[in-house]
């Protein structure tokens, strides 16, 4: 019997790559995306398109109910939908803060709540949550975005322990810099959302060095391969750093005194 996966944010980037890989391996993949055209395009790769906006309770509830009705099971949830809104803490409007939490955090919460009853009934299942290296650190311009990923890491750690005796596995995927549509959106918002001139220096500086890293970063393939390992391993790890830069940054940020680290970041952010 084929395994059944629900992947959110499957119309592009990591989600699309994973949908292709799992369908090639014989999985039944429901490729969810809020953009109808992007979702429908996944049919080309053998996925089942599912129009789903993770910020809408009704979309998530109906989508999961559809899968259970058609397949009778859900073996994998990949809570991958999300976006970056890079801006200083003060310059990010309250509406923008609420929106990024609604997608990146509460969107994951809606999906977890929707699939867990079926997974508990099955006494099996796997949940993968796309976080980031900034689930461990935070930098200039990334405060609110990093907060969503910190929150997801905390929930994943607790959930992993809570469902361990129910046959359900929980892991996070930690991408670093990767060339997808994510970077253009995040840095575009950083440039367009400026309103306080006192932050001009540090924001231009971080856009220069961090944006430069994004622009020369590799594509999503390495992250997708990591996601496949997490989805198929018999003994999945709690956290999957997706590339060497994630491992290196986690170590650096853990070892360095925070005052020294702040000075390094500010030095890098000189414009």
Q: State the first-to-last Cα distance of the chain, in angstroms, to the nearest integer.
A: 57
Q: What is the edge-to-edge ordering of all strands in the sheet holding 168-174?
A: 48-51, 28-33, 4-8, 76-79, 125-130, 168-174, 239-241
Assigned token pair, 41: 């395009």
C-alpha–C-alpha distance, residues 62 and 8, integer Å: 14
Quote the number of domains for the chain: 1
Please report the pLDDT score of residue 220 as a whole number. Answer: 78
CB-based contacts of 261: which residues, under 8 Å, 6+ apart? 252, 253
C-alpha–C-alpha distance, residues 56 and 8, integer Å: 13
Q: Domain of 51: which CATH number?
A: 3.40.50.720
Please report the pLDDT score of residue 133 as a whole number. Answer: 85
Please report the pLDDT score of residue 251 as a whole number. Answer: 75
Residue-wise pLDDT for 98-114, tens only, equals 999 999 999 999 999 99
Tokens 């801006």 found at: 87
Please report the pLDDT score of residue 14 as a whole number. Answer: 93
- Nearest C-alpha neighbor of 210 from the set 86, 117, 85: 86
Strand, helix or coil for residue 171: strand
This prediction has a pTM of 0.90
Tokens 């900034």 found at: 134
What domain range includes position 226?
4-268
C-alpha–C-alpha distance, residues 194 and 174, integer Å: 28
In the chain, which stretches have pLDDT less than 50? Answer: none
2, 27 Cβ separation under 8 angstroms: yes
- Nearest C-alpha neighbor of 182 from the set 140, 126, 130, 136: 130
CB-based contacts of 75: which residues, under 8 Å, 6+ apart? 3, 4, 5, 124, 125, 126
- Does residue 42 come out as left (phi exceeding 0), alpha (psi in the -120 to 50 range) or beta? alpha
C-alpha–C-alpha distance, residues 139 and 214, integer Å: 15
Q: Which residues are catalytic?
A: 145, 149
């Amino acid at each position: 019997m084929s395994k059944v996966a629900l992947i959110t944010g499957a119309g592009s980037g990591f989600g699309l790559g994973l949908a292709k890989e799992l369908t090639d391996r014989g999985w039944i993949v429901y490729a969810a995306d809020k953009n109808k055209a992007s979702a429908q395009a996944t049919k080309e790769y053998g996925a089942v398109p599912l129009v789903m906006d993770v910020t809408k309770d009704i979309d998530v509830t109906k989508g999961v109910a559809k899968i259970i009705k058609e397949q009778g099971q859900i073996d994998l949830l990949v809570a991958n939908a999300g976006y970056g809104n890079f801006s200083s803490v003060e310059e990010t409007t309250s509406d923008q803060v609420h929106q990024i939490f609604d997608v990146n955090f509460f969107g994951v919460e809606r999906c977890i709540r929707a699939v867990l009853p079926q997974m508990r009934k099955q006494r099996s299942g796997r949940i993968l949550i796309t976080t980031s290296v900034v689930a461990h650190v935070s930098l200039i311009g990334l405060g609110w975005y990093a907060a969503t990923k910190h929150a997801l890491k905390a929930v994943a750690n607790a959930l992993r322990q809570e469902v361990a005796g129910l046959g359900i596995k929980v892991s996070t995927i930690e991408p670093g810099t990767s060339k997808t549509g994510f970077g253009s959106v995040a840095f575009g918002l950083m440039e367009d959302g400026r309103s306080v001139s006192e932050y001009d220096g540090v924001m231009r500086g971080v856009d220069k060095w961090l944006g430069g890293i994004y622009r020369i970063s590799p594509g999503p393939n390495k992250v997708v391969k990591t996601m496949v390992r997490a989805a198929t391993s018999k003994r999945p790890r709690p956290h999957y750093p997706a590339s060497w830069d994630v491992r290196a940054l986690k170590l650096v940020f853990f070892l360095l005194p925070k005052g020294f680290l702040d000075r390094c970041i500010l030095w890098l952010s000189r414009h």
